[in-house]
Amino acid sequence: MIVIVYGYDGSGPGHWQRWLHNELRQRGETVSFPELPEPSQPRKDTWVTALGAVVDAATSPVTFVCHSLGCWAVDHLLAHRGSDNVHAALLVAPPSPFLLFEPVESFLPPPRERAAWAPIAARSCLVGSDDDDFTSRAEFAELSNELGVPFHFIPGAGHINVASRYGPWPFALQWLRDAGALRP
């Protein structure tokens, strides 16, 4: 099962996560794009609880596809309950763990526990850019190293969202194939 996790304020029309959700549904894949509580006023505990319920209800291992703050929600989930019933995670443009933005404070600092990621690290991937307004390239590289997750660098991609022209994004589909998350 593929679970798409948006960041602060959700992923609105035109976002690559909406495109991916539609593509996966058209292909007959099992995909969930849960509406997390209060996306404009997110709370770590409520998001982690909601994601935990999705993992518990899944009849096959979950592959997360996360953007921005959604990456930290999954990081907290894994630190809290481990990787049971989780296959892999795509972490796209997580914000700096030192971000000064009140609406996301409950997620910071993220746990970044290598041991929690170890069972799924080889199948997971962190994606970042050199001109993301919320994270530096050095922070992406450090996070990749901390979690033991491979890092895919995209120059000039901004926050990898609608504002940086990321609507359809075939990379996400290819990563799902490579991670063994799509049906044969």
- Where do the structural domains in the chain lie, given as residue ranges? 2-178
| pLDDT tens figures, 102-128 | 999 999 999 999 999 999 999 999 999
Contacts of 53 (CB under 8 A, 6+ apart): none
Q: What is the pLDDT of residue 179?
A: 97
Mean pLDDT across the chain:
97
What is the reported pTM?
0.97
109 preceded by a cis bond (ω within 30 of 0):
yes
Low-confidence ranges of the chain (pLDDT < 50): none
pLDDT at 183: 84
Angle at Cα 4 formed by Cα 29 and Cα 159, nearest 5°? 130
Fold that domain 2-178 belongs to in CATH? Rossmann fold (3.40.50)
Whole-angstrom Cα distance, residue 67 to residue 98? 17
What's the pLDDT at 117? 98
Q: ∠22-20-37 over CA atoms, to 5°?
A: 85
pLDDT at 55: 98
Q: What is the pLDDT of residue 152?
A: 97
| Residue 148, burial from CB neighbour count under 10 angstroms (0-12, 13-18, 19+) | middle
